[in-house]
Structure 1
């Protein structure tokens, strides 16, 4: 811890403390409200604690399914409320009579004008208006026919309407309500009547049509009179949705939330007794009642308990990071990322706690998705450890429910293993079957243990299957989001960068084949070395591929690409050669940024040289100008020095590979001597001072480099007359 404190400023430690504090506070605020935080009970399990005795009387809360059934029954018991508008019938008939006189006047006026243009100021359709107009015309001309008189028609309409009103007319159509009885409200008194005692509105219209048909009028007169009569049909029993809803709400409010009471000192459940459905309701009711009885002081103490509870889990994760993942602990952005994932899953848990439905929503808490994210972004050890911590935190939010915690620990653990050695992004979707397997096995195991019904287990499996299906998709999407927002380089990113079809690597192979071969050899050396000393093999290999990409710009300036054996530096001054050689560092970084390479890869470009001296040109300068006139710092690379194990490996591998390649007729002794010299010069020059490489690591790196480079420069048996063949000398064939 002291080393960590020495390496991290007080300000940085304060930031880390704030990240942890905010994380704990947000999680604590998501705890279930008003309940004492005790272990969750499962129906069918055995009560292993001492006898639970009620310290005070409390009501037993009904189960949600029973309570919901009773609410539904209460709603169905309410009859639709209709307001008795007793004066509407008389008003309607009076309106018909008054309008009949008005219509006669309108018709007389229309006939008097003798206008050809149609003038219909009434509500009647054109055909009905014309029919009444022709009847009135016949009456005025004193034409004797068997046809009815207009006023008699209106009197008949009033009579038919009055007959319908005697039974009463409801303001809705048949089929709009499902009940066979209704409530007729007169004043403040409701009277329950059979619905078929009254006409529904559509039935009333049919009744009017039937009564008019009995009068045996011609069809055109009958249709006109039907239209006229129905216009004045105003229901005298009006449906009130507002009053009906009030009655439904009142009926629901009358449903008790409680099914009984547990008296003080009454035993709730005995030790070693199986937890039945009734016993579980009593225990849950006791928990809520206990939570309701605590005062302000009790709430404060409970809050402190919750805070310590979650803080202990976060502390365990912090200690793990300090001891085994120092790089992650030093990086505040990665700590924020870990915090966000934990808070995100906690918030989903909070939402499932708030939704009151009869469904196992807890299986939609995506712990497997979080486990896969931790594994892909960091590594499998980090993934399994954070999954354990996260599972316990979510279990706490679910009321310390052991079954839930165990199920998600199993599914989350399996999801970690499925992406442990991930090679491409689509491999994420392979985790579906393993997550489903983990949930299925645990659901069946715990279901059999507590004698759960088969239909209940099937519902849980359906929700768990949804989790297994959604988790890979969620992981895929969030991974891309986190990579871009937090500039994180995952193993997936490195694998994609290692593809030789990447534009930079393809261009390097085409323009600088010697540098490309050198980089490939270094990739093999770096990967093997990183595995040996506990560094990241993939990062080291990809860093080796890209460490010299700056040589793409002017490949002819570097000896490995000078295929015609003409070295341009022989004709340049040493300081000019230095500027040309070190330019590949600046140009390499520019190319890397233009191609959006991660910073972890960009670091290899300057760090693989560190601040080493370009010895060849430095020695030439001393011979040309004299040692006293040459400043060694002018012949150093700009740096910085390697700061990680991976960049230190690349620095040593670069020097060793280049030096061994220049050996004529290499053998074991020569290779070992050259590698020793390279290692000693880097150590003596302080190039590895900023990296975490130890002396033990140095010894391992020497062995692995010697092994690989000797293998690449092994001697082959010379073929007969090979020397003549190499010189292009061929024997004449016998004639």
Structure 2
């Protein structure tokens, strides 16, 4: 079963790996892998409950929401308690002062009519007075001396103006004792005799009327202000809404409805919002990969692995979120968000891992949203994103398992720093116990991410045929069975492979290709020569060349066979397909020129060029193409009698030009600019191999002796 898992990727048809239809389906699958695990976090579980029944479960609020009905009731009550806003009408005061003036003026006019009897004057006065005054006061007004009458008029106007300018409402005028008290306060110091004082008191009391009216606009504005000042009535997450076996009243039912726990009123809008978010992010990932990571985008097995890593990371978050019921546990800080970022960085690409950290951060903000009113808790969003980025970048070019543990430690330190920043931003008081608890789980998050990465890495490497730097270093170990055999049985080919590996790695690094992959591929590219080692010139030390006695056709079959033999041997030793590709593609469909021209000279009939070409395929990647170039260059340079820099450069350029004209680079992504960089890099590396040697005295004497 283990072998099957390791080799499963080899049995996937090539058409499946590159099919655009399959690629679209895989991105749809990725969206579903993100959507379904998060449904329960955006849509609370609902229950079929009714008013005037007994609950069979204990329910707590799944989210913090506003109790809109209770809030409206509180605001209505607060608004109803607002006192009306009054505005003073000074026209009423002016009118009353005029009436007071008229009364005293009328009294003076009637006093001047001596032809009228006292009874007639009283009757006429009573008919013209606008106030209800006692007969005694009316009689006093008609009998007061003119100076006293004028003094009383002035004092009365003064009292009325003073009281009414302060504002008089209906509550005041409805209480005669209160009116009298205010009037007495005004006339207590007035220089009046008792008779005049009594007249002034009664006329002033009769003249004071309400001059304050309700300002509807100001009153409504005040009520609205009071309504807005009432804080919303909240139902907080975790608040017990109904206990088991508790009677469900109208109030309890309303709270259950507000919390979204009732089946008949459950809103589906959060699911639509989640679907839109997932669709947007998956579409963004697809476009980003198509533009920036075409090698991943074009390989459907990589997309499938990418999707499984994302699903795995979300699944780990969901499992750890179950710890929210434990009082001392801080699951949001303990979750290993960096797990997915670290796996993607090692198996695919660091920049892609950074982009995916944003997705993991949003998922963490949704899954661990315990208090926020929004669908995402931005504390865990920031924490998850920065933790994931730290995990992706801290790995670097991880070539050892210990490097992953070091990256986990770095993530732990970053997590602690992020937690400190988040708590400093929170205005509420935080206890040391809470802070230490959060630090502990933040540190655990980094360690757990590293341990899980190490644990899952072999599974993804074997299942999908991914060659991580660590796996490549394992394959480059000289104690590998094939490499050990290559050294022992074909030392010339082994040395040739080492030289090709050095050239290939330098050239790949110069153009941004995978130098380590090219080096390891070069180690194994000629293992097929072990089957017939002495038919290859690098292994013919102190031997005659057997090809001198063979026909060109037979020599051609022996030389070409080393490709097929190498592929077969690598498959038998269960090496990854990417390594096998180097053995299969490093010659492409190039022509064996020596044997072709030899056959043409020996035969009178025309010789088909196609019969003397390697079967291919041509190089499919930049790495295999570069190894093919370096393989030809190393063999050719070794044959030079005087490898000067100029001759080396001419040879390298001729080999690359021949391959370019022969169409050997048509199926890989090498550009003309990259070919120029490769040429310069190979020449510089070869100059280091064939540098001029200093002639020491012993060497000079040896040269003289030989002469």
TM-based fold match above 0.5: yes
| Per-residue CA distance 1:100-155 (angstroms, 9 max, x = gap) | xxxxxxxxxxxxxxxxxxxxxxxxxxxxxxxxxxxxxxxxxxxxxxxxxxxxxxxx
Task: Find the aligned partners of 1:378 and 1:698 in 2 and give their Cα distance.
Answer: 25
| Per-residue CA distance 1:343-368 (angstroms, 9 max, x = gap) | 22223333444553322122332212
Match of 1:478 among 441, 446, 456: 456
Q: How does 1:295-444 map to 2 (within 5 A)?
A: 299-355=267-323, 356-358=325-327, 359-399=329-369, 400-444=376-420
Q: Which residue of 2 aligns with 1:601?
A: 579
Q: Which residue of 1 aligns with 2:620?
A: 643
1:35–1:290: 8 Å Cα contact kept in structure 2?
no
Q: Which residue of 2 aligns with 1:691?
A: 668
Task: Find the aligned partners of 2:358 and 2:593 in 1 and give their Cα distance.
Answer: 53
1:310–1:393: 8 Å Cα contact kept in structure 2?
no
Between 1:555-564 and 1:298-307, the stretch displaced more is 298-307
Instruction: Give the match's secondary structure for 1:299.
Output: coil
Task: Find the aligned partners of 2:486 and 2:696 in 1 and give their Cα distance.
Answer: 35
Q: Which residue of 1 aligns with 2:68?
A: 55
- Distance change >3 Å, CA 401–CA 35, structure 1 → 2: farther
Deviation at 1:269, TM superposition (A): 6.2
| Per-residue CA distance 1:355-412 (angstroms, 9 max, x = gap) | 5332212233221222221111123222222222222233233341111122222322
2:296–2:302: 8 Å Cα contact kept in structure 1?
yes
- Distance change >3 Å, CA 319–CA 397, structure 1 → 2: farther
Task: Find the aligned partners of 1:282 and 1:534 in 2 and give their Cα distance.
Answer: 53
Deviation at 1:726, TM superposition (A): 6.6
Task: Find the aligned partners of 1:287 and 1:385 in 2 and give their Cα distance.
Answer: 41
Task: Find the aligned partners of 2:705 and 2:499 in 1 and give their Cα distance.
Answer: 31
* Count of matched residue pairs: 499
Q: How does 1:134-283 map to 2 (within 5 A)?
A: 267-268=230-231
2:45–2:261: 8 Å Cα contact kept in structure 1?
no
Task: Find the aligned partners of 2:530 and 2:474 in 1 and give their Cα distance.
Answer: 21
1:25–1:307: 8 Å Cα contact kept in structure 2?
yes
2:68–2:258: 8 Å Cα contact kept in structure 1?
no
Instruction: Identify the structure with the greater helix proportion.
Output: 2
Task: Find the aligned partners of 1:722 and 1:517 in 2 and give their Cα distance.
Answer: 26
2:23–2:300: 8 Å Cα contact kept in structure 1?
no
**Bigger Cα Rg:** 2
| Per-residue CA distance 1:307-329 (angstroms, 9 max, x = gap) | 11122222222222111111211
Task: Find the aligned partners of 1:683 and 1:677 in 2 and give their Cα distance.
Answer: 10
- Distance change >3 Å, CA 304–CA 281, structure 1 → 2: closer
Deviation at 1:643, TM superposition (A): 0.6
Instruction: Give the match's secondary structure for 1:423.
Output: coil
Deviation at 1:600, TM superposition (A): 0.6
- Distance change >3 Å, CA 479–CA 387, structure 1 → 2: same
Deviation at 1:433, TM superposition (A): 2.2
1:54–1:268: 8 Å Cα contact kept in structure 2?
no
Task: Find the aligned partners of 2:22 and 2:230 in 1 and give their Cα distance.
Answer: 55
Q: How does 1:574-613 map to 2 (within 5 A)?
A: 574-613=552-591
Instruction: Give the match's secondary structure for 1:638.
Output: coil
Task: Find the aligned partners of 2:682 and 2:255 in 1 and give their Cα distance.
Answer: 66
Query: Which runs of 5 or more structure 1 residues have no equivalent in the other structure?
Result: 37-51, 60-262, 271-277, 731-735
Task: Find the aligned partners of 1:540 and 1:642 in 2 and give their Cα distance.
Answer: 13
- Distance change >3 Å, CA 676–CA 289, structure 1 → 2: same
Deviation at 1:301, TM superposition (A): 3.1
- Distance change >3 Å, CA 449–CA 21, structure 1 → 2: closer
- Distance change >3 Å, CA 462–CA 641, structure 1 → 2: same
Deviation at 1:523, TM superposition (A): 1.2
1:27–1:310: 8 Å Cα contact kept in structure 2?
no
Task: Find the aligned partners of 1:380 and 1:613 in 2 and give their Cα distance.
Answer: 40
Match of 1:29 among 9, 27, 39: 39
Task: Find the aligned partners of 2:313 and 2:698 in 1 and give their Cα distance.
Answer: 74
Match of 1:569 among 547, 569, 581: 547
Task: Find the aligned partners of 1:587 and 1:30 in 2 and give their Cα distance.
Answer: 56
Match of 1:667 among 644, 648, 654: 644
1:388–1:409: 8 Å Cα contact kept in structure 2?
yes
- Distance change >3 Å, CA 623–CA 466, structure 1 → 2: same
- Distance change >3 Å, CA 725–CA 575, structure 1 → 2: farther
Q: Which residue of 2 aligns with 1:519?
A: 497
Task: Find the aligned partners of 2:326 and 2:603 in 1 and give their Cα distance.
Answer: 88
1:613–1:632: 8 Å Cα contact kept in structure 2?
yes
Task: Find the aligned partners of 1:458 and 1:309 in 2 and give their Cα distance.
Answer: 35
Between 1:440-449 and 1:564-573, the stretch displaced more is 440-449
Q: Which residue of 2 aligns with 1:499?
A: 477
Query: Which runs of 5 or more structure 2 residues have no equivalent in the other structure?
Result: 1-14, 47-64, 73-225, 242-253, 370-375
2:556–2:612: 8 Å Cα contact kept in structure 1?
yes
Q: Which residue of 2 aligns with 1:218?
A: none
Q: Please state if 1:488 is matched with 2:466.
A: yes
2:361–2:384: 8 Å Cα contact kept in structure 1?
yes
| Per-residue CA distance 1:17-76 (angstroms, 9 max, x = gap) | 43234224324434332399xxxxxxxxxxxxxxx98632279xxxxxxxxxxxxxxxxx
